[in-house]
Amino acid sequence: MAVLSTNLVAVRTRELADMIETLPVCLSPDHQYQRCCELLEQVAVALDLLSSVPPS
The tens digit of pLDDT for each residue in 2-14 reads: 566 777 777 888 8
> Cα–Cα distance between 30 and 22 in angstroms, integer?
14
Angle ∠(15,18,19) on CA atoms, nearest 5? 85
Q: What is the pLDDT of residues 25-47, one digit of tens each?
A: 566 677 777 887 888 888 888 77
Angle ∠(35,38,41) on CA atoms, nearest 5? 150
